[in-house]
Amino acid sequence: MRKTVCLLFAAFCFAAGALAAVAGVSVESFIRQRLSPQPKELEIFEGMYVLDGDSAVHISVSSPLSDSQKLAVADIFRRYWRLSPALEFSEDAANANLGPEGSETEISSGGIKIRARDFSALRQALKTLRQFAEAERDGPGQVFALAKIRDFASLEFRGIHLCVFPETTLEELEKYVRLAEYYKFNYVVIEPWGVFPFESHPEFAYADRKIDRKGFKKIIDYCRGAGIVPIPQLSVLGHGSQSRHLSGKHAVLAAHPELANIYEPLGWCYCMSSERAGKILKDLVSELHEFYGNPPYFHIGCDEAYDMATCYKCRAQNPASLFVGHLDKFRKFLRSRGARPIIWHDMLLDREDPRWAGEVASGTRDTAKALGALGKDIVIADWQYGGAENGGGFNTPKHFKEAGFDVLVCPWESDSGISALAKTAKDEKLFGFLQTTWHHIYGNKRYASFFRRAGDAAWNGGRPPAGGKFADSALTLIPELSHVAGDMKASYSAAGTSLSQISKSISD
Ligand SMILES: [Zn+2]
């Protein structure tokens, strides 16, 4: 009798403790802090459900899944939880109304039921459950708090821009892509910096730093399988050195001075008057576009074109006309290949214009005039790196939208800027969101901004993320990066946020 009372008391304490608090925060708050992106609606109820090998999971979608999609779902359960529950699939046409990538999940004492719009929505719902689950103490199952989760994507274009520097290993690139997938991005712009092994013009990469073609292709193919569209990038104006300008390195001219006539005299911009430059660039664009599987977008850069039109031939012409002609050439070329060009915005804003004070603008009165003459099928990627607290009102996306363009907002490492730009995209009904990372992706806490925070901001249109004791702590990244590292069987260097635990990269 005494033993029974003790057991009942212990069970009561366990239940009460589990519902009331975990290390000083409520259970609901703790669960919310473990989820990124946050679901649109989350209700937590008293009690728990244990998913194990004997469980059945009910899944309905708006139209039948293919056999390979069903196998992929079973594989997700094995990969996430080492479990093979019975999966019961059904169709419900009403699920088509759940919103973009939308789903409703009910976890009750009777089991887990997922209503998803389609296969893509189902995968997104399962990603949330992966973060939601707790490993069963001393058992093989997964414990879920009883809950109802309703979710859908606020922005339909959620991209992240990744550079492949000579210093980037393919294993790290794979990790970035998998992290993008993990946090529900659905586009990834991958920009090789002097490392792509071009067959048409092998001289357009550092001879000793070309990436392995097969390994790179595998990553591109992985994107497609994961529901992410890989977008190639090659700048066709500035950044022609394919190197950071402060480094003084040049992927082409250092080894091939015979190609100087396709660049402006300072070697940063390609020459817009050179027919040879135009022909080579089209070859490079074609090759990259094909390598990435001919996706519907191609990013042609065109930012920070500091020395554009400075050669003797260009400077005799109208810079705005040259600029428009150059962009239009590549726009038409890409349209003929079935793709829309994406360009960075900054040359299209006059840096002296007081309307853009405090915002990124690299152009002149002449180059800004080009905006009115550009084809409206160009997507403008508006990169604004300030924080919302710095008076960065982000007026520029609206400016481009009103000029008739599809606009991607592109934050960098300011958390407030990430949220504010995503909110701007949602409020202004813009084309989407493209997180930039640049060289700051190497190690340190910015992973929380680039992947976790940005993924949430893009999915939820900048809605404030969950706050709390663990929300801004590096601890939340541990299970998430462990999931990704485990999925890809990452080496020590590629696991986590840094190449090593003890390095300068952690503090800068
Ligand atoms: Zn020139």
Summarize pLDDT for 19-52 with one digit per residue, the tens.
556 666 789 999 999 999 999 999 999 999 999 9
| Model confidence at 105: pLDDT above 70 | yes
Which pLDDT value is given to residue 23?
67
Instruction: For residue 312, report the distance from its CA to the centre of ligand 1, in Å.
Output: 7
Q: Sorting pLDDT into bands at 50, 70 and 90, what band is 91?
A: very high
For residue 478, which of 77, 177, 34, 23 has the smallest C-alpha distance?
34
Does pLDDT of 2 surpass 80?
A: no
CA distance 484 to 90: 30
Whether the pLDDT of residue 473 is over 50: the answer is: yes
> Could you give the CA distance from residue 276 to residue 262 in angstroms, rounded to a whole number?
6
99 close to 153: Cβ distance less than 8 angstroms: yes
Percent of the chain with pLDDT over 90: 86
Q: Is 433 in contact with 458 (CB distance < 8 Å)?
A: yes
* Residue 504 banded pLDDT, cuts 50, 70, 90: low
In the prediction, which pLDDT does 236 show? 98
Structure confidence at residue 25 (pLDDT)? 77
Burial 450-467 (b: 16+ CB within 10 A, else e): bbbbbbbbbbbbbbebbe
Q: What is the mean pLDDT of residues 192-214?
A: 98
The pair of three-digit structure tokens given for residue 105, joined into one six-digit string: 């999940």
Q: What confidence score (pLDDT) does residue 390 get?
A: 58
Query: Ligand 1 center to residue 265 CA distance, Å?
Result: 8
User: Ligand 1 centroid to 212 CA: how many Å?
Assistant: 33
List the one residue out of 232, 247, 130 whose CA is nearest residue 191: 232
Number of alpha carbons in the 13 Å side-chain half-sphere of residue 19: 13
Quick one: pLDDT at residue 502? 81
- Mean pLDDT computed over 122-132: 98
Would you state the pLDDT for residue 317?
95
CA distance 117 to 96: 5
* Alpha helices (runs of H) in 136-237, residue ranges in sequence order: 170-182, 213-225
Question: Residue 131: helix, strand or coil by DSSP?
Answer: helix
Q: Report residue 11's pLDDT band, with 50, 70 and 90 as the boundaries.
A: very low
316 alpha carbon – ligand 1 mean position (Å):
9
Q: Which pLDDT belongs to residue 472?
A: 79
Q: With 70 as the cut, is the pLDDT of residue 79 above it?
A: yes
Q: Residue 393: its pLDDT value, please?
A: 64
507: pLDDT strictly greater than 80 = no
Q: Give residue 266 CA to ligand 1 midpoint distance, Å.
A: 10
Rg (the chain; Cα; Å): 25
Mean pLDDT on 405-427:
96
* Centroid of ligand 1 to alpha carbon of 235 (angstroms): 16
Q: What confidence tier does 187 reach under pLDDT thresholds 50, 70, 90?
A: very high
pLDDT on residue 471:
85
Distance 315 CA to ligand 1 centre (A): 7
pLDDT at 499: 84
Is pLDDT of 498 > 90? no
Question: In this predicted model, what pLDDT tens digit does every residue of 252-302 receive, in sequence order?
Answer: 999 999 999 999 999 999 999 999 999 999 999 999 999 999 999 999 999
**Percent of the chain whose pLDDT exceeds 70:** 93
Measured in Å, residue 288 CA sits from the centre of ligand 1 at: 24
Assess contact for 278 and 240: CB atoms under 8 A. no
- 293 C-alpha to center of ligand 1: Å? 32
What is the reported pLDDT for 253?
Answer: 97
- C-alpha torsion sign, points 428, 433, 439, 440: positive
CA 309–ligand 1 middle distance (angstroms)? 5
The average confidence (pLDDT) of the chain is 93
Could you write out the DSSP letters of every residue in 318-368?
-HHHHHHHHHHHHHHHHHHTT-EEEEESGGGSBTT-GGGTTS---B-HHHH
Ligand 1 centre and the CA of 346: distance in Å?
20
What is the end-to-end Cα distance of the chain in Å, rounded?
Answer: 62
d(CA 334, CA 184): 28
Per-residue pLDDT at 124 exceeds 70: yes
Q: How far is the CA of 306 from the centre of ligand 1 (A)?
A: 12
Helix axes 119-132, 477-488, angle to 10 degrees: 120
pLDDT band at 17 (very low <50, low <70, confident <90, very high): very low
